Structure 1
Amino acid sequence: MKKRTGLVMLVALTLVFGILSGCTKGKSEGNSSGSSNDSGTQTEIVFWQPDLANWQPLYNKLVKKFEESHPTIKVKMTNIPEDGYFEKLNTAFAAGKGPDIWVGWYATDEFDRGYIAPIDEFIEADDWDMSQYFQPIVDLRLKGADGKHYGLPRDYSSYVFLYNKDLFDKAQIPYPTDDWTFEEFRNIAKQLTDADSQTYGTDIVSDGWGDSPLLWSLGGDMISDDGWTVKGILDSPQTVKWFELGQQLVNDGSSLPTSIAETMTGDNGPFGSGKVAISIGSMWGYNSLKDLPFEFGAVSYPQIPGSENYGWADVVSWFMNAKSKHQLETWQFMKFMSSTEIAQEVVEEMTWGPPIPSIWVDQKLIEDDVLKVFYDQGKRPTKTPTYVRSNSWQAIENSVMGISTDTLLPLKGTPLKDPQEVLSKAADEIQKILDETKGRK
């Protein structure tokens, strides 16, 4: 999965059925075990996923492992490039077809369309423990408005602040700690900026400014929890304050200019160039961090004094076709892929972050200075990421990007616009779009 701003977004888990019969119920083992096929012949289930070529060996290994333990179930796996992946899924579902199981990430109102199967009957039959996963993010992302679950998590990702230790060492500045404040972050970014050498304190202004846990900590937001209201939220004093803080970074000169950022490419974007001291990192891109040509560290988002400390988290998940003729077999595969056993397999390569906190502890991932920071974010209060609160975001995405352009990322020679003016105008215009879109639903 691609990170929405260009970082590879990237994104587990107990062998349940087929090895042991009559196993006890629990969070990692189910008792509705087995295929609905009792004839001894194989049932084929179709599985689609859109992931990178270097992820395919892991997928092949997991599918083989499942088939060996479930000899009456055959998995036909197809890898489809992410560009166009969801369009192909939608076309297949519209024709009453599509895979039995697939990898996806959706706003929860997508479940209202009816092609994704609720899985509560399987969860209840197997006493499958949903609390074993990172919460509250799994329920936020996989529960519909009806309170039912519509998927199991493949992975877990969070955002952290990454910092270039080499640049900190050169400037003789102590590394940041988890109790640092936004003002301390701002001061450090200024100290680590040298326009002559084109080295900048941070690039976070251009990297998801409106979808930040710091905005939530301030009491602001971009859109309502259900994704249909911006008036009174987008133009609230708290959200205006957040954009004013962003302008401070721009005015300080410590924010990487867009014109320079566009010349820096690679898996880790401008941060990977060694010219940016502090950036945002995702667990989906963790493996690419190993290729950085400098020493780096990770730290929690800076704190807003006197405010609740939010974290940012998300999951990519497995979904079942509501029209599948092999739902029991599909469930066997889903829970296998979201089990503790497979989470342990994933740890070996960290292709994606395991969605089960206990695995991070048992496998000693939290003893790693960087991985511990990713883990800790999943334990904080959080919200559904802004852009997946509802399908409404698709109708307003360009308008939201325009806000950042006007207030934080102006074209060369264009002055920054007043956040209060921009957000107030945008709230009126976007609310109109949302109301018209909702009226057509």
Structure 2
Amino acid sequence: MSEVGMRHDVRRAFAAGISALVLALAGCTSGAPEDDGKDAAEGYDPNAKVTLTWWTGQSAEAQNILEGLAKEYQALHPNVTLNVSSGAATTDELLTKLSAGFTSGTYPDISYAYGSWATELGQSGRTQDLKAFVAEPATAWEEIPPAARATATVEGRVIGVPALVDNLGLIYNKKLFDAAGLPHPTDDWSWDDFRAAAKKLTDPSKNIYGTAYSVSGSEDTTWHLWPLLWQKGGRILDPGGAPAFNSDAGVAALEYLRQLAVVDKSMYLDQTDEKYAPLFYSGNVGMIISGPWVLYDLKEQKVDYGVSFLPGFDGNHETVSGPDLWVLLDHEDPNRAGAARDFVRWLTSKEIDAKWNLTFGNLPLRSSEQGTPEFAAYVKEYAPGAQKFFDNLANAKQPRPTVTGYVEMSRYVGEAISKVLQGAAEPKAALDDAAQRAKPALEDR
């Protein structure tokens, strides 16, 4: 697996051991600055000499790209010095480093962060509130997908700017479909279409499964259920913030997955999060539900593949997005706060984002990038998936909740899904138990 592929696989597996980090971060809010309603950049002098610390959270290849962009920005703004580092050995470790930095006062001005950390970071008392900043026309906030903007917003405060956007689609192996005499999936496929194809693709004698699912209990397990829940008209939480995923819609969604895994036995159950993509590349799995982070490896492995929207229920093909953020942190210095905003606005602009996300194989942050030469080159290089995943952003209509307790709730839901798919529990009882266990974490807000 390539370094890029490894980086993205780690992105999706982080939640399994994160709860201890969340507790550590929650314990760091004591002594945090009080929110007096004042804009952190009020009084900012754009000509003042400032030094900013930027934790990118990236592996070596991506880090080299971002360091080059930092030099480009500094050449345009000689009064600004950017100290750039990954911040930690892996992206997952950034939250630990941030929590320690909040205690010691040595945290950065800008940090990469998983979207699932947004609530904990927002409640640390250390983030800037960017409401006024994103309302400025120059930020072009409306060009960023709504789900990503919602992820950056915690209890009415905007704590960062999206760094990466994505979504889940259906990726299929054309050769396996052709060998089975099956028509290729389309954007109009239903749940029944998917199930029927998975059954026909499965061939135990050749160790081939129709599809696959993670049963590690991590966020990778949980977030694959959310699109099915939404397509059935369900909600993760009710308007009051209590668990709602154990509704009839949630039970029906999980029962559908149970039919694939337990009844049809057409679903490979991955205990680690790390096996199902390589098994797809090798031709042992016919279809996976995954995102644009696998496009690099699909190209590298020379897989003859196609991509379509998620199979839908009654024509609803809603998907889920897992955006990550550039979080801006407050040092009670308006010049540092203002300079950090100016740099992030530049970094996420249409022109510069093309040098970062599109160069690195990610989807563009902004709708306006669709007409750029860089986007055309990206679509060509990562065909056929790049354009389809970009189009699929329109189906990412809801964010995962940015509430305290989401990570803990996700773990309970992931455990419930894993038990059901392995035949150890029934959907209704498993989801009811997860909801009951999640209530205390969700009520502690």
Could you state the TM-score of these two structures normalised by the residue count of structure 1?
0.81
Partner of 1:281: 290
* Matched AA of 2:242: T
- 2:96 and 2:434 map into 1 onto residues whose CA distance is 30
Residue 130 of structure 1 pairs with residue 141 of structure 2 = yes
> 4+ residue runs of structure 1 moved beyond 6 angstroms?
none
CA shift digits 1:336-360 (9 cap, x unpaired) = 1111111221365234321001213
Superposition pairs of residues 323-334 of structure 1, within 5 angstroms: 323=331, 325=333, 326-334=336-344
CA shift digits 1:387-420 (9 cap, x unpaired) = x532303334442232123211x2xxxx443222
Which of the residues 331, 338, 356 maps onto 1:346?
356
Pairwise CA distance, 1:195: 0.7
Deviates more, 1:197-206 or 1:180-189: 197-206
Pairwise CA distance, 1:197: 1.1
- 1:348 and 1:429 map into 2 onto residues whose CA distance is 41
Pairwise CA distance, 1:49: 1.7
- Report SS of the residue matched to 1:374: helix
Pairwise CA distance, 1:87: 0.7
1:192 and 1:200 in contact (8 A); partners too: yes
Deviates more, 1:337-346 or 1:354-363: 354-363
Pairwise CA distance, 1:84: 2.1
Pairwise CA distance, 1:186: 0.4
Deviates more, 1:90-99 or 1:117-126: 117-126
Partner of 1:65: 72
Partner of 1:399: 412
Residue 253 of structure 1 pairs with residue 265 of structure 2 = yes
Superposition pairs of residues 186-205 of structure 1, within 5 angstroms: 186-204=195-213
Unaligned runs of 5+ in 2: 1-7, 16-40
Pairwise CA distance, 1:270: 2.8
1:214 and 1:301 in contact (8 A); partners too: no
1:48 and 1:78 in contact (8 A); partners too: yes
Partner of 1:3: 11
CA shift digits 1:278-337 (9 cap, x unpaired) = 00222233322222242111111011015x431222322212111153112111211111
Structure 2 CA distance for partners of 1:225 and 1:61, relative to 1, 3 Å: farther
Partner of 1:145: 155
User: What is the count of residue pairs matched by the alignment?
Assistant: 394
- Report SS of the residue matched to 2:288: strand
Residue 217 of structure 1 pairs with residue 248 of structure 2 = no
Partner of 1:244: 255
- 2:174 and 2:279 map into 1 onto residues whose CA distance is 15
Which of the residues 375, 398, 419 maps onto 1:383?
398
- Report SS of the residue matched to 1:355: coil
Pairwise CA distance, 1:381: 4.9
Residue 90 of structure 1 pairs with residue 90 of structure 2 = no
Which of the residues 126, 142, 163 maps onto 2:172?
163
- 2:53 and 2:206 map into 1 onto residues whose CA distance is 53
- 2:273 and 2:112 map into 1 onto residues whose CA distance is 33
Pairwise CA distance, 1:137: 1.1
Aligned-CA RMSD value: 2.8
- 1:395 and 1:330 map into 2 onto residues whose CA distance is 32
Unaligned runs of 5+ in 1: 8-31
- Report SS of the residue matched to 1:285: helix
Pairwise CA distance, 1:262: 5.7
Structure 2 CA distance for partners of 1:433 and 1:108, relative to 1, 3 Å: closer
Question: Identity of counterpart residues, as a percentage?
Answer: 22
CA shift digits 1:2-23 (9 cap, x unpaired) = 332489xxxxxxxxxxxxxxxx
1:264 and 1:270 in contact (8 A); partners too: no
